[in-house]
Amino acid sequence: MSQPTTATKPDTVVSTLIDAWNRHDMEAHTALFHPDADFVNVIGMRMRGRTEIDKMHAHLHRTIFRNSVLRSEGHTVRFLSPTIALVHVNWEMTGAEGLPGWDPGAIRHGLMTWVLVAEDGRWLITAAHNTDIVPIAMPK
């Protein structure tokens, strides 16, 4: 396994994914995932492998996310080893459409947690979990 290059560092995965999302290019989005990646979305649906991840996101970008814009509010990278990184991405989204029983609001905020692996000279997302940040006060 070759070491990743500077051009494909975890920070680049964050900016490339956001760019692909905003262009609604799910082929480029999905290419950032390892072939057997796991993805859990904000409503707890689990997708296994690039094929499922692509199918779900392509459908969503033809429907409720067709006008969405994703923006990073900052991210952190922690290297667990030279070829494994834990990434947390705070995000903001506008333009998402609701569904019956789910109204995401005009501006959404969330947190993505990714495990990236370096393989064949590039970083790929092998596990992802996305969470909406819900602005509620915790009990005292």
Per-residue model confidence as pLDDT tens for the chain (140 residues)? 444 444 469 999 999 999 999 999 999 999 999 999 999 999 899 999 999 999 999 999 999 999 999 999 999 999 999 999 999 999 999 999 988 777 777 899 999 999 999 999 999 999 999 999 988 888 98
Q: Is residue 112 part of a domain?
A: yes
The pLDDT value given to residue 8: 61
d(CA 45, CA 88): 19
The pLDDT value given to residue 72: 97
The pLDDT value given to residue 124: 97
Q: Is residue 139 part of a domain?
A: no
Q: Is residue 138 part of a domain?
A: no
The pLDDT value given to residue 26: 96
- Residue 21 sits in a domain whose CATH number is 3.10.450.50
Q: Is residue 1 part of a domain?
A: no
The pLDDT value given to residue 105: 75
Q: pTM of this prediction?
A: 0.89
Q: How many domains does the chain have?
A: 1
Q: Is residue 81 part of a domain?
A: yes
Structural domain of 48: 6-132
* Strand-pair category, 33-40 with 122-132: parallel
The pLDDT value given to residue 103: 75
